[in-house]
Structure 1
Amino acid sequence: MAKKPSSSSNRKQAAPLETSASIEEQVKAFLAGGGEIEQVPKGVSGQTNTSGPKHITLGKKPRA
């Protein structure tokens, strides 16, 4: 039995120039609407870590 092609393989990827032009248009619209672009210094994260540590526990161990 032949494998059925997935829908993602049927889609054609956008050309890089179309993507760049689209991003440029979106940025212009954002700035025209009063938006501001904040430049984050190199080596500094723009995200704040509000969550706790990302440790996971495998299995159920009784806590003391």
Structure 2
Amino acid sequence: MSKKPVKATLTTATIEEQTAAFLKAGGSVEYVGKGKSGQFASAGSKQIDLKSN
């Protein structure tokens, strides 16, 4: 009989530790305004045509 894998739970402490480590390693946090996306569109829309000739 095998044991089920235990899911890691994120706590506020681990998130704060990870954030501190990220910033200490030279990472940066960028503010994104409300209603904006932090992702850049590298290409146009990706529409597909379901009608084949």
Q: Judging changes above 3 Å, is the alpha-carbon distance between structure 1 residues 55 and 46 closer, same or farther for their aligned structure 2 residues?
A: same
Paired residue for 1:25, among 17, 25, 33?
17
Structure 1 segments, 4+ long, off by >6 Å, are none
Q: Give the structure with the higher percent helix.
A: 1
Question: What is the CA–CA distance in structure 2 between the aligned matches of 1:60 and 1:39, rounded to whole Å?
Answer: 44
Q: Which has the higher contact order (CA 8 A, sep 6+)?
A: 2
| Cα deviation, residue 29, structure 1 | 1.0
TM-score by length of 1: 0.58
Instruction: Give the share of equivalent positions with the same residue, in percent.
Output: 44
Q: Point out where structure 2 has 5 or more consecutive residues left out of the alignment.
A: none
Asked if 1:12 is matched to 2:6, the reply is yes
Instruction: Select the structure of larger CA radius of gyration.
Output: 1
Q: TM-score, normalised on structure 2?
A: 0.65
Q: How many pairs align?
A: 50
RMSD, aligned α-carbons: 1.8
